[in-house]
Structure 1
């Protein structure tokens, strides 16, 4: 009996141990820590659930706006992005109170006006930064709320790219001076695609002007800001399908209206500089103060913009003066914006360095010529060869420029040098370099003698005539040209002009000897026929000249040129 009892005790012990082992194996599996999934990510923006005043309500006369959302929010760049129409002189002061945004109004609101608050994407939720895109809040201080709209697109007049954040200003009068002096009646801003929509407008016609409002004063600062304008008044419309199409406006910068002399200098003994605020209208005259009748004592070289002028002194007696007193006669804009004759006394000083003082004027050193001939590429027929001098030439002797045809062992005919019509330091000549032939060009001393009587150093260049089979050609059949057009071959990114041609009326424009690669074509509708693009003038109601960039479904604007290949394209300048 005792043995049997012991066996029962042992069985209970084994059962207990087995149960404990089972539980130990079971519980770790059940107690394993797993991160909570938390559900799907929040991708929804905040929702406006209440407001004071109610959205699109009437007869509001309060001094605070309260916007309540369904979740906590965090405004982002609210002061920069918030736009109020009609514009307020003082920006509202924002306060964030949990799920509420309070805007304290510092201005007294106009009576019987519909106010629109454009928030863009400034209102976002606190956790995931989800924005309310194009959030607009409106109310009226009168008995009715206006509901009409006016839509449009603004592009850069020269690049045709959309202009973002342009301020669109609407007026209910046609006076041209309004953008300079008066806050607009309504405003809107363009998005990244250059599109705008002015909402809550009255059933009337509006003058529409757009600017890049750099100082946020809602006024046009001529010469400092871009401008676009529509040529006639525009009627606001409903948002239904029968509404007029969106207007298109092209933005440009005007030439500075004021003409003043902004500075002058004498960086070299033989060089004077005059800095004007714009290309000087009616020209100018500069005279030594003791020789007012003296003429032709300087040579003018304008910069690319034409407002900074370099005057090279060609009179050695005047150049030797360390202090040169002069009288400048030009036209200056007065306080009433009138262009009137002006007479200024200018004192040009030259401070000679020790190195310059030690130079013996009787031992003139030769100067180096710069040539447009590429060092590692073949030259193209009838593309001018240019020589650029450090100073303008006093005399030129083209007989000192010799070209040897080494392939045929002959001397080529003398070149005919032509002076550049703008830059007095540039001379060029044309030559039909023959394919596959090697030339040796030799420029001897005294080919060019500059205004300080220095002559050029010897210049030797080896030239190979270009093989047309290594280049491509491009012919453009251009139609829709009323007067003239400037056709420009650009690099792939349209940052550099490779070559330019003038088209007179509808015509074929051919570019040859194009290096294989990718290009674009820009076409300027040259309405005044001066061979360049001209900007607009707001007060004179002159729009900038139209610019087109060739494109089609196949090329998307980028044209591939292959060696020994002729490409033909067609393009029409549409009204």
Structure 2
């Protein structure tokens, strides 16, 4: 019996010792709200003439590391893949595993990577600066970040600013920067301890954490001018937006059934197919990185078409392609239709029907607007038009609804077989779409103002609380804008400075060294962008200040 008790006692003691030896968060007691404090570092902050193989940090409590490989910002450029970060009790070790450059100031900014073990409070202002030479570089580069198309809540998380020596042949898309800075929660950045010299500068949202920009998926911007750094530089502005730099190209082309397909590597924003019979015997449509050419009849010989496609950043591809339109037993695709149902309107009713294929005929006898059980408005040829005669796939219906029609809901109706496409397919189901007629007394009268510190032409957009463009006007002269008879609600106003006059926003093109067209928003009191409109209201002097241009202002 005594031997059993002795054995149990030994097991208990061993368990206690193991528990004491294990590094873990303490339980119970008051919440620890104090961040860990640095007691000692080796090398010491601001040290000169040192080339450490390891950096050792000692704190006043047990600590842990949170995503150190991404969270610790090291400048100038160093091979971060070779670095090993370790946290043990109250010590953080950084094994560099590489040689440092001569006469160079290094900055290890730990940001929020070092936290206490219990409550994960990050160490504050934890930065170690040392030089392998006889002096510490002390110049600063600072500025601000803006998004042309911001999210509902400004989020600067993962936004970086990188600086490259002018002699460096790499850039933000090919290599990590020589100097690197993290943007704070207010959109400001500061890169410290930079050596005097000439530099290129970039900013980007580093979503994948590889410290390089990805034009296909990440917002970015770049300075066109060189930074000549002889003293501190402040006030640099970056305006981030997406711009895919992959040039558009044709991957392949081939007959598909009776039609001819041209497959692209990306969707174009503009496309044209030309020969003397396009719009008569041949029509085309675009969808899902594809241009499909349709022929009314089978053709024995190959037909030449001039193909032109333009992508979002301005890369263009022009080529001559020979299309084939053979006889085929392949069953044609069904005719499909999408329609802008659910829109509200006052007097001017604009209806759009988008088809997946060109339309060759419309049966107007079965196309009409119904506003009560016994009353209809017949749709005739004068009320409709196709936006592009070479495509014939977007049908627009425009008509004015008189005030004498007091019904709130109007319904577009099209029976089955109302539309026939170029392949002889009819819509096999009836089409219905509802539109709501607004009452004049419920509308806001007007919202108007001026656009300041920019030059026309402007695209001015009224955006609803779903971030959708409700109304759009084009101001080609002057700087005044106005939206009249607006449905009550909460809105934003966005302005695009359309300098080239093509009536769309053009993103940046890094290869062509061209900045994106400026995009800016109305900002009211306390920099709030929302505008509340009530029925009968008129809002004047809603002036919109242009955002700063990219660069040193």
TM-score, L = length of structure 2: 0.76
Q: 1:101 to 1:175 in 2, by over 3 A?
A: closer
Corresponding residue for residue 435 of structure 1: 403
Are residues 1:450 and 2:421 paired?
yes
Q: Max radius of gyration: which structure? A: 1
Larger mean Cα displacement after TM superposition, 546-555 or 82-91: 546-555
Are residues 1:227 and 2:220 paired?
yes
Q: Secondary structure at the match of 1:168?
A: strand
Q: 1:112 aligns with which of 103, 111, 115?
A: 103
User: Residues 156 and 163 of structure 1 are in contact (CA less than 8 Å); yes or no, is this contact kept in structure 2?
Assistant: no
User: Residues 174 and 233 of structure 1 are in contact (CA less than 8 Å); yes or no, is this contact kept in structure 2?
Assistant: no
Corresponding residue for residue 51 of structure 1: 41
Corresponding residue for residue 459 of structure 2: 486
More strand per residue: 2
Corresponding residue for residue 419 of structure 1: 386
| Residue-pair matches, total | 506
Corresponding residue for residue 146 of structure 1: 137
Q: What is the rounded CA distance, in whole Å, between the counterparts of 1:168 and 1:431 in structure 2? A: 52
User: Residues 284 and 294 of structure 2 are in contact (CA less than 8 Å); yes or no, is this contact kept in structure 1?
Assistant: no
Q: For residues 240-255 of structure 1, what are the structure 2 equivalents within 5 Å? A: 244-255=233-244
Larger RCO: Structure 1 or Structure 2 (Cα < 8 Å, ≥ 6 residues apart)?
A: 2
- Kindly state the Cα deviation for residue 391 of structure 1 after the two structures are TM-superposed: 3.0
Q: 1:56 to 1:351 in 2, by over 3 A?
A: farther
Q: For residues 115-514 of structure 1, what are the structure 2 equivalents within 5 Å? A: 115-159=106-150, 161-173=154-166, 178-180=171-173, 183-213=176-206, 218-236=211-229, 244-262=233-251, 272=261, 274-277=263-266, 279=268, 298-303=282-287, 308-317=289-298, 372=340, 374=342, 379-396=345-362, 414=380, 415-421=382-388, 424-437=392-405, 448-454=419-425, 466-480=438-452, 481-493=454-466, 495-514=467-486
Q: What is the rounded CA distance, in whole Å, between the counterparts of 1:224 and 1:488 in structure 2? A: 25
Q: Secondary structure at the match of 2:298?
A: helix
Corresponding residue for residue 521 of structure 2: 549
Gaps of 5+ in 2: 1-27, 310-314, 549-553
What RMSD, in angstroms, separates the aligned Cα atoms of the two structures? 4.5
Q: Secondary structure at the match of 2:186?
A: coil
Q: What is the rounded CA distance, in whole Å, between the counterparts of 1:41 and 1:368 in structure 2? A: 62
User: Residues 248 and 317 of structure 2 are in contact (CA less than 8 Å); yes or no, is this contact kept in structure 1?
Assistant: no
1:280-310 residue CA offsets vs partner (Å, 9 max, x unmatched): 9996789xxxxxx99776422234xxx7234
Q: What is the rounded CA distance, in whole Å, between the counterparts of 2:163 and 2:411 in structure 1? A: 67
Q: Secondary structure at the match of 1:79?
A: helix
Q: 1:98 to 1:444 in 2, by over 3 A?
A: closer
Are residues 1:83 and 2:55 paired?
no
Gaps of 5+ in 1: 1-37, 287-292, 333-337, 360-364
Q: 1:446 to 1:183 in 2, by over 3 A?
A: closer
Q: 1:350 to 1:86 in 2, by over 3 A?
A: farther
Q: What is the rounded CA distance, in whole Å, between the counterparts of 1:73 and 1:441 in structure 2? A: 67
Q: Secondary structure at the match of 1:199?
A: strand
Corresponding residue for residue 61 of structure 2: 71
User: Residues 255 and 324 of structure 2 are in contact (CA less than 8 Å); yes or no, is this contact kept in structure 1?
Assistant: no
Q: 1:270 to 1:72 in 2, by over 3 A?
A: same
Larger mean Cα displacement after TM superposition, 266-275 or 307-316: 266-275
Q: 1:100 aligns with which of 91, 95, 107?
A: 91
Q: 1:401 to 1:214 in 2, by over 3 A?
A: closer
User: Residues 358 and 422 of structure 2 are in contact (CA less than 8 Å); yes or no, is this contact kept in structure 1?
Assistant: yes
1:327-381 residue CA offsets vs partner (Å, 9 max, x unmatched): 998799xxxxx9998789999999989xx69x9xxxxx9x78665464xx77432
Q: 1:226 to 1:401 in 2, by over 3 A?
A: closer
